[in-house]
Structure 1
Amino acid sequence: MSITAQSVWDNCLEFIKDNIQPQAYKTWFEPIKAVKLTDNALSVQVPSKFFYEWLEEHYVKILKVSLTKELGEKAKLVYIIKMENTYGNKQPFTEKIPSSNRTSVKSQDVDIPLNNKSPELRNPFVIPGIRNVKIESQLNPNYSFENFLEGDSNRLARSAGLAVSAKPGGTSFNPLLVFGGVGLGKTHLAHAIGVDIKDKYPEKTVLYISAEKFTQQYIDAVKKNNRNDFIHFYQIIDVLIIDDVQFFSGKTGTQDVFFHIFNHLHQNGKQVILTSDKAPVDMQDIEQRLLSRFKWGLSAELQTPDFETRVSILKNKLYRDGVEMPEEIVEYVAKNIKTNVRELEGAIISLIAQSSFNKKEITIDLARIIVEKFVKNTKREVSIDYIQKVVSDYFQMDIDTLQSKTRKRHIVQARQLAMFFAKKFTKASLASIGSQIGKRDHATVLHACKTVDNLSSTDKQFRKYVEDITKKLSV
């Protein structure tokens, strides 16, 4: 019986079918057609360029093994891409195949060059028509470690940032994920790390980008058939800073491409810095393989600054702006605006502006008026302490009882409701919620949230509890 392209491919398919999931086989291998066999090269037709890339990224190893079994060590697989003849045939097996002891081959495989690739790499930051080869860092030099004041609320994150900037890619903090609520300084710290690295290592390519902009660039790259250029561009970065990675939630294409970029950078000793409004354990609709990589390095939380830190932040702001202000006024503002640094600085700017425009002296009375207006016009961020107070009052118990170890049903339910609303109304991590509500762990908080969801759909009285407390917290 003579060997044909079809018979070789059928034998390969039998081997592949035995070694992967049925659905994956149906999706990625059934559409492939054997075209011709020339010596030790099998040509197959695939439906699209994306299809080819996916095979190379996910199944290159099993393809190599199956084809070697049929055609020997010199076996080659040539892709013919239907409807995309301008790209020519692709010969991935002329590339280095990762050794069998590697657990993942995905990040390596996206490096396969395309025959049509121009020598000049497309830079997604370059405006069309303007020639610019240099990669700008997109960093804001005003955000530095000097004006990112240290306190108990940010000491871990700031110290980790300094360690990373001293030795990018050379610490165990890779990736460094900084997370916390709105206005606590995540973006400031991310920029500060980048700025410090640029100062110490001017030869390194540092790039800051928001997750939203990264996603838009990826969409544009797919539309323009530049996906590989997009990947290659990000793989040459030495220090990649991505702000608000929670924006990737639900965006599977963006997550997939970032997964490959991340793997390449990490394996090549490059530094990745991420910010998020949530801890990895609390992120929704992010693929597990990506979340597991977020946890490889250090996740450092930025918490609400304490009173002393808030005073220091205000004094530093006034010093930088060359403004003098009485101590009692600084302390009054710090005492009454607790939610975040952005609101704190906003209030002091408003106070200075009012004094300047109306030619009024900065007094405690003026500060009181400004702070009251500012707090009223700023969306209130519900705190975990406030939630515990509302729930305790609703069930007519004190907060100590709510936090106690007792297993009495009505107290347990009140505690579970407090945890549920803390997760719903705050940006705190599950671990942070648990520690503040009776020193529980994150698994207890997760269980509480599921219990509240279940009881809300089955118990009419319990559903009324949820509705009543929601109204009180939403006022």
Structure 2
Amino acid sequence: MDNTAESVWSNCLAFIKDNIQPQAYKTWFEPIQAVKLSGNALSIQVPSKFFYEWLEEHYVKILKVSLTKELGEDAKLVYVIKMENTYGNKQPFTEKIPSANRTAVKSQDVDVPFNNKSPELKNPFVIPGIRNVKIESQLNPSYTFENFLEGDSNRLARNAGIAVANKPGGTSFNPLLIFGGVGLGKTHLAHAIGVDIKDKYPEKTVLYISAEKFTQQYIDSVKKNNRNDFIHFYQIIDVLIIDDVQFLSGKTGTQDVFFHIFNHLHQNGKQVVLTSDKAPVDMQDIEQRLLSRFKWGLSAELQTPDFETRVSILKNKLYRDGVEMPEDIIEYVAKHIKTNVRELEGAIISLIAQSSFNRKEITINLAKDIVEKFVKNTKREVSIDYIQKVVSDYFQMDVSTLQSKTRKRHIVQARQLAMFFAKKYTKASLASIGSQIGQRDHATVLHACKTVDNLSSTDKQFRKYVEDLAKKLSL
């Protein structure tokens, strides 16, 4: 038989296809091209260095078996890595990589495991749980539609989520942007959509990730010169769920790469689900082209639940935990914790714990004590306006003076302190802080934060300012 590189590789692929999942085959084997056959050594071209490393880590055994069937026990595999240089010249150059280690040999048997990789050669996306042939979804299976109770405050968002889960990428709700305040169930609903999709469509690749982690992965990929691999990885996802997308605010590089990933997914009928603490119209320091895409689908708000919904949430929580509680106590907790579902459930858990640990009967008085402590100890996020007022009062000046253009030293320092605490105590971007404290830019805020850090370590009086203000703001 007259073997060619193409025929040998085609037979290998047929064997591999029968032995791994379809999604894994499509992702990791369809892009490979047979280059040449020299004796018992087959050369295959892979799209990137990361691709080669992934094959070595996850598919070395099946490659060995398939190649041995075709070329015998002495079969060898040579990888040819297609590279793009940074000057835009698309002509590839090739590099022979031994399949077991980095010694100066042309190739080695594929059955020698590649165990000596340095940490920087591992998956550049650092997504915990990626192993074997599947991408782990990072979903929490306890977050389901069943335990996300419907009420007037969340009906639109919940029903849109169910529609998306029934037909991912096939509804007009793409992207689906779920927005609302802290503790109202955005993350729960996002996970519930993903969990339901995985149940209905197990072959689909679903990935949940926070915008913060996405940003860190992007930064790492740039440092390691793996940006194209980073983009390629996200473009193979069928359902991408990004939590707290407002975290991309002010991060132009991450916004740019997300823009390209979003376009690719959307054009290919993939589903994108986003959560945010703000509606698109209220997002600051997000590029207009990205905001316009957020508005392509549906923006659904989660509002503060009404009293009846809060009672239902508590009853459902107690039922799931197998705990009984008098109706008047449930209603008391629901009446006094109004703005946050997370706090609501936290209070009921604390009430059950106190009763169990101290062997006390659950009474209205015990409920009052728990709710009072819980509300008092719940950390609130102070506003930039409040920070400016506290700092201005401390230095005995008006807020308008603090925001003014004057370069008088004591006013400049007050302004810098306000910027420092705004960065410390709020989630606002540097640009947003600057615009609210005297129409400054993000570079001014960054400089202010560095100045406060430096002066705190060298100037005793200034350090006292910082300590005093920190106490006032943390009350």
CA deviations 1:35-73 (Å, max 9, x no partner) are: 999999999999999999999999999999999999999
Cα deviation for residue 284 of structure 1 reads 1.1
Cα deviation for residue 379 of structure 1 reads 2.6
Q: More deviation in 111-120 or 268-277? A: 111-120
Relative distance call for 1:46 and 1:293 in structure 2 (3 A) is same
Write the distance in 2 (CA, Å) between the matches of 1:383 and 1:453: 21
Cα deviation for residue 220 of structure 1 reads 1.2
Write the distance in 2 (CA, Å) between the matches of 1:416 and 1:269: 48
Number of corresponding residues: 475
CA deviations 1:204-237 (Å, max 9, x no partner) are: 1111000111111111111111111111110010
Q: More deviation in 455-464 or 233-242? A: 455-464
Relative distance call for 1:314 and 1:81 in structure 2 (3 A) is closer
Residue 121 of structure 2: SS of its match in structure 1? coil
Relative distance call for 1:428 and 1:63 in structure 2 (3 A) is farther
Write the distance in 1 (CA, Å) between the matches of 2:254 and 2:303: 29
CA RMSD of aligned residues (A): 14.3
Relative distance call for 1:335 and 1:35 in structure 2 (3 A) is closer
Relative distance call for 1:78 and 1:335 in structure 2 (3 A) is same
Instruction: Name the residue aligned to 2:304.
Output: 304
Q: More deviation in 413-422 or 230-239? A: 413-422
Relative distance call for 1:63 and 1:316 in structure 2 (3 A) is closer
For the 8 Å contact 1:282–1:430, the answer to whether it is kept is no
List runs of 5+ in structure 2 lacking aligned partners. Answer: none
TM-score, with structure 1 as normaliser: 0.58
Relative distance call for 1:44 and 1:176 in structure 2 (3 A) is same
Q: More deviation in 253-262 or 131-140? A: 131-140
Write the distance in 2 (CA, Å) between the matches of 1:18 and 1:355: 57
**Residue 211 of structure 1 pairs with residue 194 of structure 2:** no
**Hey, which bits of structure 1, 4+ residues long, moved more than 4 A?**
1-89, 91-131, 380-475
Instruction: Name the residue aligned to 1:195.
Output: 195
Write the distance in 2 (CA, Å) between the matches of 1:189 and 1:104: 53
Q: More deviation in 409-418 or 166-175? A: 409-418
CA deviations 1:336-370 (Å, max 9, x no partner) are: 01120000000000000000000111111110111
Instruction: Name the residue aligned to 1:61.
Output: 61
Write the distance in 2 (CA, Å) between the matches of 1:465 and 1:138: 44
For the 8 Å contact 1:76–1:91, the answer to whether it is kept is no
Residue 207 of structure 1: SS of its match in structure 2? strand
For the 8 Å contact 1:81–1:89, the answer to whether it is kept is no
Residue 391 of structure 2: SS of its match in structure 1? helix
List runs of 5+ in structure 1 lacking aligned partners. Answer: none
Instruction: Name the residue aligned to 1:285.
Output: 285
Q: More deviation in 9-18 or 243-252? A: 9-18
For the 8 Å contact 2:83–2:92, the answer to whether it is kept is no
Write the distance in 2 (CA, Å) between the matches of 1:163 and 1:23: 24
Cα deviation for residue 453 of structure 1 reads 27
Cα deviation for residue 268 of structure 1 reads 0.5
Relative distance call for 1:221 and 1:426 in structure 2 (3 A) is closer
For the 8 Å contact 2:96–2:106, the answer to whether it is kept is no
For the 8 Å contact 2:138–2:209, the answer to whether it is kept is yes
For the 8 Å contact 1:121–1:229, the answer to whether it is kept is no
Relative distance call for 1:48 and 1:295 in structure 2 (3 A) is same
Residue 289 of structure 2: SS of its match in structure 1? helix
Q: Map 1:329-344 to 2 at 5 A.
A: 329-344=329-344
Cα deviation for residue 132 of structure 1 reads 3.0
Write the distance in 2 (CA, Å) between the matches of 1:83 and 1:399: 57
For the 8 Å contact 2:78–2:96, the answer to whether it is kept is no
Residue 107 of structure 2: SS of its match in structure 1? helix
Cα deviation for residue 81 of structure 1 reads 16
For the 8 Å contact 1:45–1:79, the answer to whether it is kept is yes
For the 8 Å contact 1:35–1:43, the answer to whether it is kept is yes
Relative distance call for 1:345 and 1:103 in structure 2 (3 A) is farther
For the 8 Å contact 2:391–2:417, the answer to whether it is kept is yes
Relative distance call for 1:193 and 1:23 in structure 2 (3 A) is closer
Residue 259 of structure 1: SS of its match in structure 2? helix
For the 8 Å contact 1:246–1:276, the answer to whether it is kept is yes
- The percent of aligned pairs where both chains have the same amino acid is 92
Q: More deviation in 5-14 or 39-48? A: 5-14
Cα deviation for residue 442 of structure 1 reads 25
For the 8 Å contact 2:311–2:334, the answer to whether it is kept is yes
Cα deviation for residue 133 of structure 1 reads 3.2
Relative distance call for 1:95 and 1:202 in structure 2 (3 A) is farther
CA deviations 1:97-154 (Å, max 9, x no partner) are: 9999999999999999999999999855567999633101110000000000011111
Relative distance call for 1:385 and 1:365 in structure 2 (3 A) is farther
For the 8 Å contact 1:456–1:466, the answer to whether it is kept is yes
